[in-house]
Amino acid sequence: MKQRKALAVLFVIISIIAAGCTNNNNSPEPSSAAGESNNKPAVKEEGPVGNGTIPAKEAPMLAGLVSAGSLPPLAERLPAQEDVMVEPVVDEIGQYGGEWTMAWTGPGDKWSVGQPTEEALFRFNKDGSGVEPNVAKSYEVNENATEFIIHLREGMKWSDGVPFTADDVMFYWEHMLTKETFGKAIYDAYYSVDPATGDKALATVTKVDDYSFKVVHKYPSVQFLERVAIDNKWFFAPAHFHKTILPELVGEAKALAIAKEWGFEDTTAFLKETGYYYWIYPQIPTLRAWVAKNDPNGDQFIMERNPYYWKTDPDGNQLPYMDRIVATKIQDPSQRVLGTLAGDFNLSTFGAQDFTVLKENEKKGDFRVIPWQQPAWSTLGIQLNQTVDDPNLRKLFQDIRFREALSLGVNRGEITEIATNGIADPIQASVPEGLIGYQEGWADQWAAFDPDRANALLDEIGLTKRDKNNFRLFPDGSDLSITIMDSSEDSANYTELLKKYYEDMGIKTNLKIVDQATLQELKYSNQVPASIENISVVNVSFRPDTLVPLRVLTPWYGQYGLYVSSGGKEGVKPEGDVAKILEYWDQIKAAGTAEEINRLSSEIVKIHMKNQWIIGYAGPTPTLIAASNKMGNIPEDMIWADEFRSLGAAHPAQFYLKQ
């Protein structure tokens, strides 16, 4: 027993050293590999750790199936020797077995099992600066970025043992993506734009041989691989499965009959679920480390290891280490906390609001809390709809002095202490350091608490008249009030504070809570004057929607987005700096080099800095990962971003449970 304890301590020390190595070094790949080789012999010298014996090449549960004859041997299941993907482990070689237990709210929560198990053609590297091959083995690109040849892994197989080849890519492209069978329009990634005319052209995809295919763009598409990684994520589908259900191939009537057999009412929903949300359906083969095993509508959703998974650890052990993912259905988010405290869930993620309760129970619950930074501009803030219907209000919201006053009149120190437990910094909404578009000093812009200056600004705008309650009126004598809309009461303590500060300045403030769907409807009908939503984006060129007015839904740009998305038929025509943002965006789409794209992205961000349409009162807070102390290989110092597939960026296939 004592010996084990000593070993555990040793482990901790070693992993700290290893983690230290990764921290100090900014190029993660080689350094973690170096940490690896330094670290492993050290462990081995101390004698066997945990499993003790020479590591098996495959999980015991699969070895059993092989010897029983119901599964081909490992060598036949893995891709060709040189095409196997070796996944670097974070701290050490793991042990087989165990279950990742987590909470989910049911099939609607599909992304919380989807993202960690996702296998994209190309995935983002650890610091998110670019993509690396994942399902693809490698790629070649010509000089002006119009031709991409992508190579696949020879001998790689779907989870049902059928070979994965370029035909699966071609099938997806020809019969699903371009036919838009699964409810998504053809992704922007597949279009290239002529820098001169703005003409959009769809790429062509051709098969080169069984294990490579070619994507040809009419115009340069520098970010093609990144865009695919974000827009489409995967670029393939199991042809042998979809051949049996697509109406185009089996006929409309037969497809409907199959859909009914699956319990669906119509083929549209059926194809969307099977073509897009395929990972929760046990019938559909995937390339993921774990595949669905039972009906996701049950109380417990189970994903089991994929015997044909195509990655191994550096020692040649087939991944994943853990046998299963078990997602238990919960009705209320607090049950995730409770389950984690009780040890029922061994790896879950939480928002910063649960920091205190998690930290207090870390010892008792035998877990640890790992914070991952979010690329958020702020966690608490306000967006003023620049195109709000009321002409008086619109004029006011578009007045930069008004936004400055709202920013200065709020005590950020108090807000961060009360509403974020002091976790967030009292700063302005701005791009966090380390991301494209970071601007020195932006975080402090209008961030000081200066009610006198705020009031002076409001007076200067002309809001000098007051009503009997001492609230400011518009110069024409009409009532002035800001209505802040939100879809949940979770941030009530923050919005109440905000109301107090605004009303101290004489700005009447109403808080209105409506449900999610209503808020969505209100946004489309331009009925949301102000919202406390925040911006979280890694790189504007990857995901422009929240910073560039391209559609409805982000409150600050209101109807400008509708104007763009409807091609000028509806909405409000963007002018001034907003129009400039759109100009830059058009240039990004047609840009010829990565440097050019980064420069233009920075320009867009600078316009945001100048205008501060999005006012922030508290800096970003981390996402918290609560992991059982038994679970190893979970990286620290990572970025939590949807673009990087959240927890998926940690490569959960190499997480393991110390037995």
Partner 1 sequence: MLQYTLKRILLVIPVVVFISVIVFYIIQLPPGDYVSNYAAEMSVAGEVFTQEDMDAMRADLGLDRPVYEQYFIWIKDIVVHGDFGFSFNYNKPVLAVIEQYMGLTLTVSLVTMAFQYLVAIPIGIYCAVKQYSIGDYFFSGLSFLGMATPHFLMAVILMFLSYTWFGDPLLGLFSAEYVNAEWSMAKMIDLAKHMVIPVIVIGLSGTADLIRVMRGQMLDELNKPNVVTARAKGLSERKILFKYPTRAALNPIVSTFGWSLTSIFTGSTITAIVLNLPIQGPVMFNALLGQDMYLAGTWLLFMALLTVLGTLISDILLAWLDPKIRTEFRGT
Binding site for partner 1 (CB under 8 A): 101, 107-108, 111, 183-185, 263-266, 268-269, 273, 294, 297-300, 302, 326, 328-332, 335, 338-339, 341-344, 487, 515-522, 524, 545, 551-553, 565, 642
CB 297 to partner 1: min, Å: 6
Nearest-angstrom CA–CA distance, 550 and 612:
18
Of the pair 132, 344, the CB lying nearest partner 1 is at: 344
Helices (H), 412-557: 412-419, 451-461, 492-504, 516-524
For partner 1, which is the closer residue by CB, 111 or 449?
A: 111
Min CB(493)–partner 1 separation in Å: 20
Identify which of residues 612 and 628 has a Cβ nearer to partner 1 in the complex: 628
Nearer to partner 1, 300 or 510 (CB): 300
Largest CA distance in the chain: 86
DSSP 192-256: EE-TTT--EEE-EEEEEETTEEEEE-SS--TTHHHHIIIIIS-----HHHHTTT-HHHH-HHHHH
Q: Is 344 or 637 the residue whose CB approaches partner 1 more closely?
A: 344
Q: How far is the CB of 644 from partner 1 (least distance, A)?
A: 11
| Smallest separation (angstroms) from partner 1 to the CB of 518 | 5
The strand pairing partners of 349, in sequence order, are: 625
Distance of alpha carbon 171 from alpha carbon 384, whole angstroms: 46
- Residue whose CB is less far from partner 1, 150 or 564: 564
Burial class (CB in 10 A: 0-12, 13-18, 19+), 9: exposed
Q: Tell me the closest approach of the beta carbon of residue 487 to partner 1, in angstroms.
A: 8
Count the helix, strand and coil residues of the chain and give each as a percent rounded to the nearest 5: 40, 15, 45
3-class secondary-structure state, position 35: helix
Contact 438, 377 (CB under 8 A): no
In the complex, minimum distance from the CB of residue 578 to partner 1, in angstroms, rounded to a whole number:
20
The minimum distance between CB 184 and partner 1, in angstroms, equals 8
Phi, psi angle pair for 334, to nearest 5°: -65, -20
Between 328 and 526, name the residue whose CB sits nearer to partner 1. Answer: 328
Among residues 352, 353, 356, 402, the alpha carbon closest in space to that of 382 is found at: 402
> CA 136, 193, 614: angle at the middle one, nearest 5?
90
Least distance from C-beta 386 to partner 1, angstroms? 20
Smallest gap from Cβ 206 to partner 1, in A, equals 28
304: left (phi over 0), alpha (psi -120 to 50) or beta: beta
DSSP secondary structure letter of residue 172:
I
